Chain A
């Protein structure tokens, strides 16, 4: 029986994380047995220049700032080469909202990558970037996505969703796309066969009702499109950000993670986040409903800039998964197992 929003909110407010964890774990086991997956990929943050200036972000710089950068094609290709050399199957290219690059710049980047590395999956650009590209180019979201798809874009990562509630968004990232915009980009992408993941960032001071409303919106869109492969919960990293504040507790994170496994019943994969939680809590997610630990992340500038820095290697990841009594497997972007350990 599907959990209602009221029930979900109650679980978040008064549920016991350990009991919810046990239920979520049973659901995970029912779906995936003993296999836990991860992916080897690299984040390529092509620019830190961003017109959005979100209060929870420590990565962005204004154009002209001494640390502002934009990577050239050669540097990007070099990073892809290193990813391939390291056994990576995917690149996640994401950047700030650069004020004046045309869509052609991105298309050319994608084409160059695919020409040189036809085997690599390009899982790139958040909904926020897609909307920004469309505006800059003066064309629709659909046309933007079609052009990027034709140039080699395979799928969209789910970042930028934060909390899909405009009151929260106006407070923490007023210039960023609003709830309906994010959902619209995802709906449009799914409509042309471009699948994606979905995320939620907790710890902005949002209410439990707002968290559930976020989950409900994504669950409903999934009913419509079926295009979300995974749901990922992150915690807001307050270090070096304008928003600041206390980091969400492990207790809150574990409880929310368990609820996402139970609530997001039409999304297959629930990813635990070692990047925002550290590897110890990351491992624990495997007992609370997560069946995937995401990426090795050969490079993660954005999270690092906010003061959280964890490093991970394939060996470490496999140990982490095996330490939880699970079978470790490397997957590709579409969650097919490509190697077992």
Chain B
């Protein structure tokens, strides 16, 4: 490849399949040779998962935006009396999904919501159960480590017990959000009212032990240092060594619009987004899938990200809310045809999958 002298040792390690160290990760974040980083990450992607790019036809269901967390990076959460605050009934949630089912390929739901101050765990569970009973054909992915930690607290159950109940109610996989940066320094400043780093990791670990796969994510581009990004990746890598339960890793660049934090922090550059994607691919050597989440990256960046280590482009989504409250400039949903075109233009093979990455069909 084309490494400058300075990074030859890292390139050699990667090409020989050797694990990168914390120091390597930090050095990569100081490398300005973006195309080289991309080429290296792309090489790893090619070796590990070939030319298939996963997507799914899915629908986001955000049961409520009323949330006690008040995270500084969020533009979605509201207090109960605020303008635009909502909390869905079971019937409304079913109605939303029924509408989305007009798409005959609809395969799964992504259910992520605020930490409602008065809802009990049984209410969340009840809606999940109702969705599962009404739409048994749909794969249910939902709830982040933050929500599950919250459910354990408000119900007095253990995390394991909460997860067992969710699994029994039809949950097939757990969403990757809420990891933010797994550093208590950062969490104390930005989101002190929700799961700590250890709590988030504990939900993932417990879920994996119960055979429930989860996703992992990183929200970057706010107050974290580059070292904290690397440490975050290492925490995920260590847990993955232990459990192998993470399915995909998602990079979330912080979107500042309409957030409290956005008053002092600007949006990440595309440069940062792509190098972070590439470095995640290189550091997370035990993750099979890296997602280019088009909602936050925008469609053109997500497409380019397919050359920077990503092999997963998320789904059609139907109607995205959380990031659009924070000023996301992408469409709220994409048609399956558009997703297929984006992937094919990048010279890859689109594969429709369920939320556990089982391929339903590949599109030649």
Contact check, A22 vs B39: say whether CB atoms are below 8 A apart: yes
Cβ contacts B159-182/A at 8 Å (1 or 0 each): 000000000000000000000000
Assess whether B39 is in contact with A18, with CB atoms less than 8 Å apart: yes
Contact present for A287 and B304 (CB under 8 Å): no
Tell me if B's interface is mostly helix, strand, loop or mixed.
Answer: helix
Query: Whole-angstrom distance between the alpha carbons of A287 and B32 in the complex?
Result: 8
1/0 per position for B261-284, CB-CB distance to A under 8 A? Answer: 000000001111010000000000
- B257 shortest CB reach to chain A, Å: 15
Contact flag A22-B303 (CB < 8 Å), given A283-B271, A287-B271, A326-B32: no
Query: Are B345 and A280 neighbours in the complex by a CB distance under 8 Å?
Result: no
- Is the pair A280, B303 in contact by a Cβ cutoff of 8 Å? no
B2 engages A249 (CB within 8 Å): no
Q: Using an 8 Å CB-CB cutoff, how does the interface string of B30-43 with A read, 1 for contact, 0 for none?
A: 00111110110010
Asked whether B17 is an interface residue with its Cβ less than 8 Å from the other chain, the reply is no
Task: Tell me if A22 and B271 are in contact (CB < 8 A).
Answer: no
Please pick, from B35, B272, B274, B346, the residue contacting A25 in the complex, using a CB distance under 8 A: B35
Interface pair A325/B32, CB less than 8 Å apart = yes
Q: Is A198's beta carbon under 8 Å from chain B?
A: no
Interface size on A, residues (CB 8 A): 29
Q: Which of A1-25 contact B (CB under 8 A)?
A: 16-19, 21-25
A22 touches B38 (CB 8 A): yes
Q: Smallest distance from the beta carbon of B287 to chain A beta carbons, Å?
A: 20
Pairs A-B, 9 closest by C-beta atoms:
A325-B32, A250-B300, A287-B34, A280-B270, A21-B35, A22-B35, A18-B307, A323-B269, A18-B38
- Indicate whether B101 reaches chain A with its CB closer than 8 angstroms: no
Choose among A22, A281, A324 the residue that contacts B36 (Cβ–Cβ < 8 A).
A22
Given contacts A280-B298, A281-B300, list 11 more A-B pairs with CB under 8 A. A18-B38, A21-B34, A249-B342, A251-B303, A251-B304, A280-B270, A283-B270, A283-B271, A287-B38, A324-B34, A324-B271
* Separation of A325 and B39 alpha carbons in the complex (Å): 18
Whether B363 sits at the interface, judged by CB under 8 Å, is no
| Complex interface bits, B53-95 against A, C-beta within 8 A gives 1, otherwise 0 | 0000000000000000000000000000000000000000000
- CB A283 to nearest CB in B, in angstroms, measures 5
User: Does A127 have its Cβ within 8 Å of any Cβ on chain B?
Assistant: no
- A189-206 interface with B by 8 A CB criterion: none
Give complex CA distance A320, B274 in Å.
14
Tell me the bound Cα distance from A251 to B62 in angstroms.
32
Contact with B along A216-260 (1 / 0, CB 8 A): 000000000000000000000000000000000111101000000
Q: Tell me if A324 and B269 are in contact (CB < 8 A).
A: yes
Report how far A21 CA is from B270 CA in the complex, Å.
Answer: 15
- Say yes or no for A38: interface residue by CB 8 A criterion: no
Q: Does A26 contact B (CB under 8 A)?
A: yes
